[in-house]
């Protein structure tokens, strides 16, 4: 029965009565029934928009119901209600983030931690949890969860996830790592999204490519190289984008636009930033990012302007590193003039950050405003660095052993799986595009 706009309030009240009655029942199957009712209640709110008298109160009521019902759901019932759980998860992040963001985050975290066939399996709650953390700027909370809960499995049948859930999880995860300035982790997550087997180009993949282009400059000072295991459709698009940006012929741009829609194109500003940064051309990079209104507008629309401005500081850092090999002492004024002629930042603050991060070994004399670059490090710091390295190495070894055990388990499962052997046999006779389609179906 369709819900008309005039009956939204009545429909919500009826569902509310049924839920309140069901909460008093101790029947083993009642949580499943309540979950279906809550899912319908979410539909009413999404249809109502702002037509209900106090929408925030209704949102909080649904969150309260979820907090009561979720813990009562048994693990053996996850597969039966996976569709409802996915729907409620998507609705919660839409209707609840404005009214009670902390309650939404706690609820989605509970779902991500409990409503999965295994601890390393992806659910729809994972991506929505990360989205809620981004809206609340709780990057530290999100990255701790990502660090402690790696995703190694996908099970669409029992979790009702889609390829878009997979893409959003790794894209939002990258945004959280960017918020904590853990750029290499962000690149790793974006690569997971870019290399998802696909037969069509996704808008999320386009946004991931734009971000990874800038992040690659920050971490390696070089142009991003597309992984070899990227889908053929992404590989063709990336190559066509490079050719279009390298060509000054208008016909080349027209032919590329006819192959891919406007939304499926990477603007010229990214290629210009790559050229200026890799050539260590600070003036040109500054002009592109700070003075070119068209480029600024494009970067802001892509929500990449913050990353782009960070490139200016990282290029300054690269210039300072080069000074340490040519000079023993320099004044702060000389460093500012040689590394940041446009005075976009305080070079003394940049030096302090680099010294604290052990990027350079230098001492600042604040009385004379002179900087002395040292070619050796303090022995005490050496001992501390060695201890830290040993500690990190031990953690990496523990992670490697855990992943190795997991790989052995997956290999054993694959060798006894008839579907995998059938796919392996067909791939030896088919082409790359066929493999993409089959893997996408498995996802």
Q: Which of 66-80, 94-108, 357-371, 422-436 has the weakest average pLDDT?
A: 422-436
Positive/negative CA dihedral, 273, 274, 276, 280: positive
Q: Percent of the chain beyond pLDDT 90?
A: 29
What is the rounded average pLDDT of the residues 126-132? 93
Burial of 438 (0-12, 13-18, 19+ CB in 10 A): middle
Residue 242 resides in a domain: no
pLDDT value at residue 249: 37
Determine, yes or no, domain membership for 124.
yes
Q: What is the 3-state secondary structure (H, E, C) of 112-149?
A: HHHCCCCCCECCHHHHHHHHHHHHCCCHHHHHHHHHHC
Cα distance between residue 105 and residue 98, in whole Å: 12
Please tell me the predicted confidence (pLDDT) of residue 297. Answer: 92
Poorest-confidence range of 65-79, 186-200, 371-385?
371-385
Q: How many structural domains compose the chain?
A: 1
- For residue 375, pLDDT over 70 is answered with no
Query: Residue 278 domain-assigned?
Result: no
Phi, psi of 336 (to 5 degrees): -60, -45
Classify residue 60: in a domain, yes or no. Answer: yes
CATH number at residue 25: 1.25.40
C-alpha 294/C-alpha 292 separation (Å) is 6
For residue 432, the model assigns a pLDDT of 42
Residue 149 — left, alpha, or beta (φ > 0 → left; ψ -120 to 50 → alpha)? beta
**Average pLDDT estimate for 318-334:** 86
Q: In the predicted model, what is the mean pLDDT of the chain?
A: 79
Helix, strand and coil percent figures for the chain, each rounded to 5: 70, 5, 25
Establish if 308 belongs to a structural domain.
no
Q: In this structure, is residue 416 part of a structural domain?
A: no
Asked if residue 73 belongs to a domain, the reply is yes
Share of the chain above pLDDT 70, in %: 77
Q: Which domain holds residue 31?
A: 1-150
Does residue 46 lie in a domain region? yes
Phi, psi at 249, each rounded to 5°: -85, 130
Give per-residue pLDDT as tens, 241-277. Answer: 666 555 543 343 333 333 333 444 577 889 899 999 9
CA distance 106 to 172: 17
């Amino acid at each position: 029965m369709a819900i008309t706009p005039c009956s939204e309030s009545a429909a919500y009240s009826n569902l509310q009565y049924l839920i309140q009655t069901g909460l008093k029942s101790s029947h083993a199957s009642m949580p499943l029934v309540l979950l279906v009712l809550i899912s319908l209640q979410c539909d009413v709110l999404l249809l109502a928009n702002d037509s209900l008298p106090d929408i925030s109160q209704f949102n909080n009521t649904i969150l309260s119901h979820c907090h009561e019902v979720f813990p009562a759901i048994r693990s053996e019932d996850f597969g039966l209600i996976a569709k409802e759980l996915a729907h409620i998860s998507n609705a919660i992040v839409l209707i609840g983030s404005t009214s009670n963001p902390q309650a939404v985050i706690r609820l989605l975290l509970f779902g991500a931690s409990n409503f999965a066939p295994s601890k390393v399996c992806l659910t729809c709650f994972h991506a929505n949890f990360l989205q809620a953390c981004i809206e609340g700027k709780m990057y530290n909370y999100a990255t701790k969860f990502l660090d402690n809960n790696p995703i190694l499995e996908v099970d669409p049948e029992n979790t009702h996830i889609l390829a878009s859930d997979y893409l959003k999880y790794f894209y939002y995860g990258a945004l959280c790592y960017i918020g904590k300035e853990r750029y290499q982790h962000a690149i790793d997550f974006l690569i997971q999204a870019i290399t998802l087997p696909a037969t069509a180009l996704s808008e999320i993949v386009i946004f991931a490519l734009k971000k990874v282009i800038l992040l690659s400059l920050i971490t390696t000072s070089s142009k991003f190289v597309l992984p070899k295991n990227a889908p053929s459709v992404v590989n063709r698009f990336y190559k066509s984008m490079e050719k279009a940006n390298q060509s000054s012929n208008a016909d080349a741009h027209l032919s590329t636009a006819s192959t891919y829609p406007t939304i499926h194109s990477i603007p010229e500003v990214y290629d210009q930033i790559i050229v200026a940064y890799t050539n260590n051309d600070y003036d040109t990079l500054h002009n592109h990012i700070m003075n070119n209104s068209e480029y600024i507008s494009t970067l802001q629309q892509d929500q990449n302007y913050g990353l782009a401005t960070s490139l200016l500081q990282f290029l300054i850092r690269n210039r300072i590193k080069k000074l340490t090999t040519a000079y023993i002492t320099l004044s702060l004024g000389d460093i500012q003039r040689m590394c940041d002629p446009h005075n976009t930042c305080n070079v003394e603050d940049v030096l302090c950050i680099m010294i604290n991060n052990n990027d350079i070994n230098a001492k600042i004399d604040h009385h004379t405003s002179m900087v002395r670059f040292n070619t050796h490090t303090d022995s005490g710091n050496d001992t501390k660095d060695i201890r830290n390295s040993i500690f990190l190495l031990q953690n990496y070894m523990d992670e490697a052993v855990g992943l190795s055990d997991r790989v052995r388990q997956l290999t054993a499962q694959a060798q006894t799986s008839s579907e995998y052997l059938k796919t392996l046999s067909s791939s030896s006779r088919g082409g790359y595009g066929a493999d993409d389609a089959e893997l996408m179906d498995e996802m």
